[in-house]
Amino acid sequence: MPTEPASHADTIPGLAAAAARRWPNRPAIVDGDKTLTFSELDEERRRAGRALIALGIERGDRVGIWAPNIWEWIVAALAVQSAGAIVVPVNTRMKGQEAADILSDAGARALFVIGDFLGAHYPDLISAVWPKPLEQMIVLRDARAGETDWESFLALADEVSEAELAARMPDADDISDILFTSGTTGRAKGVMTAHGQNLRAFDAWASAVGLVEGDRYLVVSPFFHSFGYKAGWVAALMRGATVYPVQAFDAELALAQIERDRITVMPGAPTLYHSLLAHPRLKDFDISSLRAAITGSATIPPILIERMRSELGFDVVLSGYGLTESCGVVSLSVASDDPETVATACGRAIEGIELRCVDEKGNPVPTGTPGEVVVRGYNVMRGYFNNPEATRDTVDADGWLHTGDVGLLDERGYLRITDRMKDMFIVGGFNCYPAEVERLLSAHPAVGQVAVIGVPDDRLGEVGKAFVVPKPGATINGAEIIAWAREHMANYKVPRFVDIVAALPTNASGKVVKPELRKMSVPAT
C-alpha cells in the first residue's frame, strides 16, 4: 500500500492514510449495504484523487460537493484534498440558484452532486443556473443519460500515477475547505480553514467526547456542516470509529438503526434528542448501546440533559460552542459536569484557545457580565474567501475573532451564550436576550420546545413573542404561558404574545430558523 510522507500527516487525507495503516480491516463507513474498511476507504480516496487530476483539477482549485450524507461524499472530499484542491460543501436544502451563487463565489471548477434527493434531480437544478466557473459535474448516484456518473469518473484514474498523486498532497498549512456561512445577515461568506488547525481542534473534540476505536457513530448532522464533516467523519478517522451516515433524520428510523447497528455515539442538535424522546414507541427499541452524545445550543433545558441520560441511556452528555469561523470548536464541557452546567453553559475554552467577553471598545468585561464573545488562537479561520474587508471586520488587528455572540464567563471560566447580538431586542430600554427567555420558558411543565423573537411595539419599542411546541399529550394556551412567565421572570422578559405551534422551523442542522418565525409573525400594534 502506498504511504504518505510524514510531512503530510497533519492533513485530512494524510489522516485517512494513517487510519488505513493502523486499522486496515476495521470498517470505516457503513452506508446501507455498502461497507468500506479503512484500507478500502484509502484506496478509494487515492483512486478518486487520481481521477480528479486527470480531469484537470490543479492545486488550490475549489471543488464543490452538493449531496447528503453518503459514503461517496467522504471519498470525494478526501480525493479533492489529496489532489491539493479545496472542498466547498454546499447545503442540500439550497435551491439551484442558491447553490450556483455559492459555487460561483468560490470559483468552483468541478462539482460532485447527488442525483435524486428530496424529490428533485439535483443536476437539473444546477444545470438550469449553471455557474460560469464550473467546468465539470460528476453525479454520485442516480445519474441520467448524458451525465458523468461516479464509475465513469473513477475510470479516469488510470491516466495518473500514484507518484503524481503523492506529489499533490497538501501540507498542514494549506487550505482544506471553504464553508459558506448561512448568510442570514446578508450574502454568504466563504470561511477558509487549513488542514492542521482543523485536526488539532477536532483531536481535542474527540478526546472530550471519548471517541474510541470501535465506536459506531451515527452521523445525523449534515456533512456540509462542520458538525457532520469535522466533528463527524474526520473525528471518526482520527479514532478508528465507524461512521454510519444518515441522509435525512427520521426518529423511528434512527431508533431502529441504533438497535440494529448497536450505535454508541450520536451527537446532534437538541431537536434531535427531543424527537427521540417524544417518539411514542421509544421504549419498544433496544437503545442500550448508546454511550456518548454532544449537543450545542443557546437554549438547552437541564431536564433534556437528565432525560438523555435516564431515558436514552447516554453515559456521557456534553455541550459545546463553536462557529464556522473557529473551525467549529471553541469550548467544550467535560464528562463530570452536572446536567445544569451542561445545559446552561458551553464548557471551557479548549487548550490553546483564548476566550473573552468584551464591551463595545473591546475591553474585557467583569466575570458574570454579558459581552461579545471573542476568540483568539490556532482555530481562527484564515479569512473569508476573496473578501478581505469582511475578514478585517471580523478578525481584529490583534487576532481576536469577533463572533457576534453575546455571552458571559463565570468564575470557573465556563462560557454561557446569552444570544446573538443581532437577535437581542430592547424592551422599554432593557436589553432582552431571547435565549435567556427561552431557557426560562423551557422550565414550564407543558413546554416541549420554544423560540422567542422581538416584535415591534408602539409603547415599548419592542416586546417578546414566543412560539411554543407543547410536550406530547400536553394542552396549553398562550394566556397560561404568559401568566406563568409573569411569575417566573422579570416583567420586561415576559413575552407579550404566544403562538402555540406544532413544530418550529429548523434548518438541516436542526437549528431554529428565526427569520422564518419573523415571517410567521404579525407585528404588534
pLDDT single digits (tens) 321-330: 999 999 999 9
Are residues 415 and 383 located together in one domain of the fold? yes
Pairing of strands 447-457, 425-427: unpaired
What pLDDT shows up at residue 8?
Answer: 62
Query: Residue 492 is part of a domain; what is its CATH number?
Result: 3.30.300.30
Determine what percent of the chain is predicted with pLDDT higher than 70.
95
Cα distance between residue 170 and residue 93, in whole Å? 30
Residues 12 and 141 in one domain: yes
pLDDT tens by residue, 189-227: 999 999 999 999 999 999 999 999 999 999 999 999 999
Report the Cα–Cα distance between both ends of the chain, in Å, rounded: 71
Over 80: is that where the pLDDT of 60 sits?
yes
Residue-averaged pLDDT of the chain: 92
Distances (CA, A) of 105 to 63, 71, 135: 12, 27, 15
- What gap in Å lies between CA 232 and CA 220, rounded to an integer? 9
Instruction: Give the domain-ending residue among 403, 420, 437.
Output: 420
- The total of structural domains in the chain comes to 3
* Domain-embedded: residue 200: no
Distance of CA 176 to the CA centre of its chain: 16
Q: What would the pLDDT profile of 382-418 be if each residue is shown by its tens digit?
A: 999 999 999 999 999 999 999 988 999 999 999 998 8
Per the model's pLDDT, the better-predicted residue between 56 and 302 turns out to be: 56
The answer as to whether 429 is a domain residue is yes
pLDDT at 29 over 80: yes
> Is there a domain that residue 383 lies in?
yes
pLDDT(5) > 50:
no
**346 and 369 co-located in one domain:** yes
Q: Nearest-CA neighbor of 317 among 279, 265, 257?
A: 265
| Mean predicted confidence (pLDDT) in 39-65 | 98
Across 337-353, average pLDDT: 93
Q: Is 311 a domain residue?
A: yes
For the ranges 42-51, 62-71, 300-309, 311-320, the lowest mean pLDDT is seen at 300-309
Host domain of residue 449: 424-520
185 pLDDT higher than 60: no
Grouping H, G, I as helix, E, B as strand and the rest as coil, residue 143 is: coil
Residue 464 belongs to a domain = yes
Which helix (DSSP H) or strand (DSSP E) does residue 321 occupy? strand 316-321
pTM for this one?
0.85
Give residue 184's pLDDT.
Answer: 37
User: Taking residues 168-193, what's their average pLDDT?
Assistant: 85
State which of 191, 224, 241 marks the end of a domain. Answer: 191
Sign of torsion over alpha carbons 78, 83, 86, 88: negative
Residue 524 predicted with pLDDT over 60: no
pLDDT of residue 270: 84
Left (φ > 0), alpha (ψ -120 to 50) or beta: where does 218 sit? Answer: beta
* Gap between the Cα atoms of 211 and 207, Å rounded: 6
Name the pLDDT band for 146 (thresholds 50, 70, 90): very high
> In which band, very low, low, confident or very high, does the pLDDT at 7 lie, cut at 50, 70 and 90?
very low
419 compared with 283, residue with greater pLDDT = 283
Residues 472 and 352 in one domain: no
**Three-class HEC string of 157-187:** HHHCCHHHHHHHCCCCCCEEEEEECCCCCCC
Same domain, 78 and 185: yes
Rounded to whole angstroms, the Cα distance separating 204 from 351 reads 8
Rounded to the nearest 5 percent, the helix, strand and coil shares of the chain are: 35, 25, 40
How many residues are there in the chain? 525
Together in a domain, 458 and 350: no
Say what the pLDDT of residue 287 is.
Answer: 98
Q: What is the pLDDT of residue 298?
A: 53
How many Cα atoms within 13 Å fall on the side-chain side of residue 425? 20
User: Would you say the C-alpha torsion 324, 330, 335, 341 has a positive or negative sign?
Assistant: negative
> pLDDT tens digits for 418-450?
866 667 787 876 768 788 789 889 989 999 999
Does residue 348 lie within any of the structural domains? yes
Mean pLDDT of 260-272: 93
- The C-alpha angle with vertex 55 and arms to 53 and 56, in degrees rounded to 5, equals 65
Q: What is the mean pLDDT of residues 342-357?
A: 95
pLDDT at site 93? 84
3-state SS assignment for residue 41: helix
Which pLDDT score, from 0 to 100, does residue 422 have?
67
Which has more confidence, 460 or 147? 147
pLDDT on residue 2? 47
Model pLDDT, residue 490: 76
- Helices 38-55 + 12-22 axis angle, to 10: 140
205 part of a folded domain: no
Q: Which of 323, 332, 326, 321 is nearest to 197 (CA)?
A: 326
CATH code of the domain covering residue 264: 3.40.50.12780
pLDDT band at 183 (very low <50, low <70, confident <90, very high): very low
In which residue are the cell numbers 448568510 written?
183
Among 347, 348, 259, 338, CA closest to 302:
338
